[in-house]
């Protein structure tokens, strides 16, 4: 902790001690750190509403990302898209995601998580509606760029928001809700498409998938800003008002003499600070691991619909590019395969709580390496389906564990900046992963699986080189 960069103050600006339950001699106030106040107000409706918000935002964002791979065959038929334009649409989504995740992590550290999330969610909803009404492929391309931008902004901010909104021991659960909703978005799009796509078309499918953004927008307007952010940014009065609102929602009442001790940091959103000697190793290691994980995750999101629609057995065939929408059987397989990731996320949270983050991450990374290697082999379609489902489960396990580690590895003043940077690096991996599939799928499926395998190996090496276990660390303030 760098003491020269911070000032510990109360809501009245008095220098004080951090001793639990200490009392200011000047005012008789009981001074508590935020985590101690969270212990007093307990877990209740305020956290439940926060986790519901996290679920809605994360679901909507990943549903929007997944939607394009499901409706692409329909777009290809309607607008006679070339493989190049299909790649451009996908790159518009993932490229803007990566760019805005990096840029707006810093904005959220300076101006607040709530402010950024509410505006981003509004623009996401407007972009979705505009996309559904697109008269041609060029308008659709523009709406997908805006969609990707909003998703990149939202996911970084909401992960920090849920990490900071409850006691430290509940932060893994908040991230679990985040990751389950991500996977739920992926699986729900396949399920909704299975039910509606053949009957209502892709225009209405976009509207149906985007509906949860409406209650998400209402919730973020109703909930307070992150008290931890307010505390560190010097807005102690607002921080106390926020926790009193949370206490009221939980049916508790904080005594009037309770005040909050805060470390105010003037280096909010510093890119320099995420690369200093204290944070450099975490930034680099988590960026590499997440890059490799998202390369595989997004690659599989695109790979699976193409593989099922081409009736492929692993990577043993060279399919032809043609106008062919997904059948009901294809959509059912896709729903089951992507839904398997929910099991991986739940297992990741349980083991993260019981054992820790790092050891389970290493084991899961090794299993993912083996499961992707089996995708080269063609035994029969059932074997291919089983191996891809195993790959999705362990990939989701790795993804969830990394997301638990990211926000708890950095101090509050740069938490969103670091999360946005790492998230952006990951989505660059997503851009390359989807590009790899779209550009090479009809040329050499073996090359696609080969790149998945290489990234899996690099990610595994990264987990073996990283030696920081964050389970027992209290969220840092400086």
**Position 249 in a domain:** no
Tell the burial category of 129 from Cβ atoms under 10 Å away from its Cβ (0-12, 13-18, 19+): middle
Look over the chain and give the mean of its residue pLDDT values, rounded to a whole number. Answer: 79
Report yes or no on 7 lying in a domain: no
Host domain of residue 75: 45-223+271-465
Q: Is residue 238 domain-resident?
A: no
pLDDT of residue 161: 86
Q: 22-23 and 262-265: which strand pairing?
A: unpaired
User: Is position 27 within any domain?
Assistant: no
Residue 401 lies in a domain: yes
310 — pLDDT class (breaks 50, 70, 90): low
Q: How many CA atoms lie within 13 A of 234 on its CB side?
A: 8
Q: How many domains does the chain have?
A: 1
Q: Looking at residue 9, what is its pLDDT?
A: 39
pLDDT at position 18: 37
413 within a domain of the structure (yes/no): yes
Give the mean model confidence (pLDDT) for residues 376-393: 78
pLDDT at 291 over 90: yes
Q: Flag whether 97 is in a domain.
A: yes
Tokens of 259: 């005040």
pLDDT of residue 205: 83
Distance CA 420, CA 417 (A): 5
pLDDT per position as a tens digit, 322-359: 555 556 666 666 667 666 777 888 888 888 888 888 99
Measured in degrees and rounded to the nearest 5, phi and psi for residue 9 equal -135, 160
What is the reported pTM? Answer: 0.72
CATH number at residue 99: 1.20.1250.20
Q: Compute the distance between CA of residue 438 and CA of residue 435 in angstroms, rounded to an integer.
A: 5
**Residue 283 to residue 270: CA distance in whole angstroms:** 13
Check pLDDT > 80 for residue 24: no
Spatial neighbors of 315 by CB under 8 A, at least 6 apart, are: 375, 376, 378, 445, 446, 448, 449
What are 94-120's pLDDT values in tens digits? 788 888 888 888 888 888 888 899 999
171-230, pLDDT tens digit by residue?
A: 778 887 887 787 777 667 777 777 777 677 778 888 888 888 899 999 988 888 988 888
Helix (H) or strand (E) holding 122: helix 113-132
């Amino acid at each position: 902790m760098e003491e020269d960069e911070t000032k510990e103050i109360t809501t009245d600006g008095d220098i004080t001690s951090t001793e639990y339950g200490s009392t200011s001699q000047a005012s008789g106030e009981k001074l508590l750190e935020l985590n101690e106040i969270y212990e007093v107000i307990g877990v209740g409706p305020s956290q439940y509403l926060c986790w519901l918000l996290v679920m809605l935002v994360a679901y909507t964002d990943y549903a929007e990302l997944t939607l394009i791979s499901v409706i692409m065959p329909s777009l290809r038929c309607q607008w006679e898209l070339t493989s190049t334009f299909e790649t451009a649409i996908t790159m518009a989504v993932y490229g803007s995601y990566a760019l805005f995740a990096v840029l707006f992590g810093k904005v959220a550290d300076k101006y607040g998580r709530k402010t950024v999330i509410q505006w981003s969610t509004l623009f996401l909803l407007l972009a979705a509606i505009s996309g559904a009404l697109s008269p041609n492929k060029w308008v659709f391309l523009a709406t997908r760029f805006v969609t990707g931008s909003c998703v990149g902004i939202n996911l970084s901010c909401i992960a920090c928001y849920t990490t900071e909104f409850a006691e430290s021991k509940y932060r893994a659960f908040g991230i679990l809700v985040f990751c389950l909703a991500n996977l739920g978005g992926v699986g729900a799009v396949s399920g909704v498409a299975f039910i509606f796509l053949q009957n209502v078309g892709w225009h209405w499918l976009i509207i149906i998938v985007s509906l949860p953004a409406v209650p998400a927008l209402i919730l973020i307007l109703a909930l307070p800003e992150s008290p931890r952010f307010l505390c560190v940014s010097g807005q102690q009065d607002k921080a106390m008002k926020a926790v009193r609102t949370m206490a009221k929602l939980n049916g508790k009442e904080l005594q009037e003499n309770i005040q909050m001790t805060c470390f105010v940091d003037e280096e909010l959103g510093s890119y320099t600070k995420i690369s200093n000697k204290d944070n450099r190793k975490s930034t680099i290691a988590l960026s590499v691991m997440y890059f490799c994980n998202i390369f595989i995750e997004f690659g599989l999101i695109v790979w699976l619909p193409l593989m099922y629609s081409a009736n492929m057995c692993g990577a043993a065939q060279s399919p032809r590019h043609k106008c062919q929408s997904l059948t009901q059987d294809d959509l059912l397989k896709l729903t089951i395969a992507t839904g398997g990731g929910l099991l991986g996320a739940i297992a990741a949270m349980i083991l993260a709580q019981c054992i820790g983050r790092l050891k389970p991450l290493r084991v899961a990374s090794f299993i993912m390496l083996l499961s992707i290697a089996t995708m080269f082999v063609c035994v029969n379609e059932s074997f291919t389906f089983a191996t891809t489902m195993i790959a999705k489960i362990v990939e989701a396990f790795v993804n969830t564990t990394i997301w638990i580690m990211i926000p708890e590895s950095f101090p509050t003043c740069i938490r969103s900046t670091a999360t946005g940077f790492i998230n952006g690096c990951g989505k660059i991996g997503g851009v390359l992963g989807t590009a790899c599939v779209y550009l090479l799928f009809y040329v050499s499926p073996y090359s696609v699986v080969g790149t998945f395998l290489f990234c899996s190996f690099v990610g595994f090496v990264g987990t073996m080189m990283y030696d920081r276990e964050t389970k027992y660390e209290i969220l840092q303030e400086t």
